Amino acid sequence: MGILIITVMITLHILADFYLQTEKIARNKVLSFKGVSVHSLQYGIVYALAFIFVRFNPLLLLCFILAVIAHFLVDSLKYWMSNRSEFKGFFGKPALIFLADQLLHIVSLLLIVLLYEKAGPQEPLLYLYGIWSELLGVLNLKPAFAISWLLLILLILKPANITFGVFFSTFKPEEEAKRDEKQQKTGAIIGSLERILIVFFISINQYSALGFILTAKSIARYDAIAKDRMFAEYYLIGTLVSVVFSVAAYTLVF
């Protein structure tokens, strides 16, 4: 039961913090407390909308409210620290800040679930409304399995692209950095499709098929790899990170 609710809450967190948070909102969170408040309101709306699919449960509502409050507190702390001179050095390291921010959010969700496990009744928490249960029944899917796959797909798309950009942007060759926005989006789409295929082949135990994905990707960029050592190294880092991220996400979710 604890695994189910944490899966639901992390899924909602990923939706609100990555997919529905625009670049403008992310910038405003750093510039003003109003930006933090707007994002927290947006975050709360995502959790509220979950009740379109899940039957209302007072204990679940309490968990959602605590999750929104915890998210607001973490973002407020981040905003406060970013405006203090003694912490300026840390904010010059975006990878460190990104990692600490997400870890605090995830740990707070785990603590909320632990609180529920200690205080809550030992009965099923997640009841879908009839229409959603019937739809999953037609597809022969159990709710827990469907939510796990939803979380996995959400993880390996936008969060994976953002994480790679934050941690490995310094390795990007100049020519690659000068590519226009359309070309960068194309690269992100290719990476996303690559990770989708990786987790699909892992799920059906076709590990040898991973070689096909990597070979096809290498052929498409062969000229750039052969002519530019820096690009080849950057390409290799990107490919390995994509594989590791996909395998890690699949392992953690399932």
Residue 193: per-residue pLDDT: 92
The answer to whether residues 17 and 105 touch, using CB atoms and an 8 Å cutoff, is: yes
Virtual CA dihedral for 222, 227, 232, 233, nearest 10 degrees? 170
**Could you please report the per-residue DSSP string of 54-113?**
B---HHHHHHHHHHHHHHHHHHHHHHHHHTSGGGTTGGG-HHHHHHHHHHHHHHHHHHHH
Specify if 20 maps to a domain. Answer: yes
Instruction: Give the 3-state secondary structure of residue 178.
Output: coil
Residue 101: per-residue pLDDT: 94
Q: Are residues 169 and 205 in the same domain?
A: yes
Specify if 88 maps to a domain. Answer: yes
CA distances from 223 to 70, 190, 228, 236, 238 (A): 49, 17, 8, 14, 17
Distance CA 105, CA 102 (A): 5
Q: Are residues 122 and 191 in the same domain?
A: no
Q: Are residues 12 and 54 in the same domain?
A: yes
Q: Are residues 18 and 127 in the same domain?
A: yes
For residue 28 the two structure tokens come to 């405003």
Per-residue pLDDT of 17-66, as tens digits, reads 999 988 888 888 888 899 999 999 999 999 999 888 877 778 888 889 99
Least confident of 20-29, 45-54, 94-103, 171-180: 171-180
Distance CA 162, CA 165 (A): 5
pTM beyond cutoff 0.85: yes
Per-residue pLDDT of 214-243, as tens digits, reads 888 778 777 767 777 787 888 888 889 999
Least confident of 10-14, 126-130, 145-149, 170-174: 126-130
For residue 148 the two structure tokens come to 């796990």
- DSSP code at position 129: -
- Give backbone dihedrals phi and psi of 130, rounded to 5 degrees, phi first: -50, -45
Structural domain containing residue 130: 1-134
Q: Are residues 71 and 175 in the same domain?
A: no
Of 134, 168, 203, the one marking the end of a domain is 134
CA distances from 207 to 144, 197, 210, 212 (A): 25, 11, 6, 10
Mean pLDDT of the chain: 85
Q: Are residues 118 and 204 in the same domain?
A: no
Instruction: Give the 3-state secondary structure of residue 128.
Output: strand
Specify if 36 maps to a domain. Answer: yes
Q: Are residues 93 and 217 in the same domain?
A: no
Q: Are residues 46 and 105 in the same domain?
A: yes
Tell whether the model's pLDDT for residue 149 goes beyond 80: yes
Distance CA 194, CA 196 (A): 6
Specify if 139 maps to a domain. Answer: no
Residue 177: per-residue pLDDT: 58
- Name 114's bridge partners: none
Tally the C-alpha atoms within 13 A of residue 198's C-alpha that lie toward its C-beta. Answer: 28
Q: Are residues 194 and 122 in the same domain?
A: no
| Confidence label for 129 from pLDDT (cuts 50, 70 and 90) | low
Q: Are residues 13 and 124 in the same domain?
A: yes
Cα end-to-end span (Å), the chain: 14
Q: Are residues 33 and 104 in the same domain?
A: yes
Residue 66: per-residue pLDDT: 95
Specify if 193 maps to a domain. Answer: yes
- Give backbone dihedrals phi and psi of 226, rounded to 5 degrees, phi first: -70, -35
Specify if 152 maps to a domain. Answer: no
Specify if 236 maps to a domain. Answer: yes
Q: Are residues 169 and 129 in the same domain?
A: no
Specify if 124 maps to a domain. Answer: yes
What is the domain count for the chain? 2
